[in-house]
Amino acid sequence: MFKCFNRKLKVTEAEPPTEVMAAFTRFSIGRSTMSADQFRLFLIAYQGQDEVSAAEDAEQIVEEALLQRKEKDDLSPDDGDGISLDEFFRYLLSDDLNGPIHCKVHHDMTAPLSHYFIFTGHNSYLTGNQLSSDCSDAPIIRALQSGVRVIELDMWPNSAKDDILVLHGRTLTSPVTLIKCLKSINLYAFVKSPYPVIITLEDHLTPELQAKVAQMVTETFGDLLYYPEGECLLEFPSPESLKHRIIISTKPPKEYLESKSPKNKEIIAALENDSDDEKERLLGSEFDSKSDEDQDSDEARNSDQKRPEYKLLITIHAGKPKGSLTDALKVAEDMVKRLSLSEYELEKVADSNGTDLVRFTQKNILRIYPKGTRVTSSNYKPNIGWMHGAQMVAFNMQGYGKSLWMMQGMFRANGGCGYVKKPDFLMQQGPNKEVFDPKSTNEVKMNLKVKVFMGHGWKLDFSRTHFDTFSPPDFYTKLYIIGVPADATKKKTQVIEDNWFPVWNEEFIFPLTEPELALLRIEVREYDMSDKDDFGGQTCLPISELRPGIRAVPLYDKKGEKYQSVKLLMRFQFT
């Protein structure tokens, strides 16, 4: 936890901001060092941190700082038993110790799955573009390691129709076997988060191969696999109750439940009740004596048996809208389901029936997927789905760009566990069953004050000529609020010329009507007079998770990988 002192960060290139020096003077009461008790008071009063953990942190941080000074033989009689201004500044610049957001799971995890935004991947097996890239378990592993909780697999028969392949159908993508994907999910499902992994299956299989899928799934996952005893759930289980479990979501196969034969319904009941005697009676010799009503062939009967075996493993029943979207969004009293809409369909229904979406997602799950023209694995704006309550905003995690940064930012919340509790207002209904309307403009709930002090670390992580061949870089910072339309805005600092350690000391105020849905996107650019400005780092932070006070904000590259040293020193306040 205290490795920042072991790294011996050099921050002497830039002096501590005036506000940092003022805070040190205030809490050290003018002395050259700050005692553990004084440092603890700073953490509580200035940083708004919990008293118990702050007390433990304060003692250990001061002890570590003193040990460092003794090892360097740098302890003078006047230093006392506390930390110096330089060590105080070093602490503030450590994102390990002084990061901008909460790092532990702290949301209520006992509500139904429909009450959460869930980190969701699209075509999780693709390594690149949607038309010709390889299919592999490698991107599935990377997604799980980054906290993704919903993995999508498209299942197709192989040429001999005796095995199952995963690939993007009707494209030039090279396949990977289903069993390889399942085994990798089994190995990596819970390396990042203990909360459930949902496998969404796009099924293009025969009944025989569906039965093979059922066998693969049960043998691979064993006791990790969760599926309900009954046919349809009245309410989804909670993430807490499904810890370290894997669940299947797909469209149930068209089966004989819809046929006119009452015998078929008996078969379903026997399979669901796990009654061996009933199975033997209904699927055995007695079933072979055909009546005028039931003249199914042996092949049809076998297909009927295989379909229930597969169907019974499905926890989240999925489907796409048939007919009007208004009808598809009607909430059933006797079951819950998952509905899938393309980003285009979402925009269309959000424009005309936004409150129907919100009402549907209070009980059911809504999955949004990228439109088919995104062949380069680009992504869409996720906040449109979130503000309407959509739980599964499916993203091309092998993609790129600002939309993916927003997705990564949202799921830094709640300890990065992949499940973020939806705001209460998305789950509430008024006396006349009215629900939240994303189009409405509500009163400002709070103001977020953001001060950008300075930047640090580019000289450590980049070559001398990366930004400019003959001079130091010219950095500026851009700040964006992403959320409901009323809150969307952007600000920009001035350009600091020719400096690897830019100091801005600029403050911005953002009025927020729905801070629970808002993200703060931060991007550093290097000004270029003759060409496009160079990229200098980015991050995206959920505003509801921001810790008040002076914080070290680490920056990430375009792919979302964290830089080793690059960060901003910022202050956050809520008024």
Query: Which residues carry out catalysis?
Result: 122, 168
40 in Cβ contact with 27 (< 8 Å): no
First-to-last C-alpha distance (Å) of the chain: 31
3-class state of residue 117 by DSSP = strand
DSSP 562: E
DSSP 156: E
522 in Cβ contact with 551 (< 8 Å): no
524 in Cβ contact with 537 (< 8 Å): yes
Task: Name the helix (H) or strand (E) containing 144.
Answer: helix 138-145
Task: Name the helix (H) or strand (E) containing 155.
Answer: strand 150-157
164 in Cβ contact with 213 (< 8 Å): yes
Give the dihedral of Cα atoms 501, 506, 509, 510; nearest 10 deg. -30
Single out the residue of 378, 438, 373 nearest to residue 407, CA to CA: 378
Query: Quick one: tokens of 183?
Result: 């085994």
Distance CA(113)–CA(317), nearest Å, equals: 13
SS (H, E, C) 118-138: ECEECCCCECCCCCCCEECCH
* HSE-up (13 A, CA, CB side) for residue 106: 10
Single out the residue of 524, 530, 531 nearest to residue 499, CA to CA: 524
Query: Quick one: tokens of 421?
Result: 């509790």
Query: Quick one: tokens of 95?
Result: 């994102």
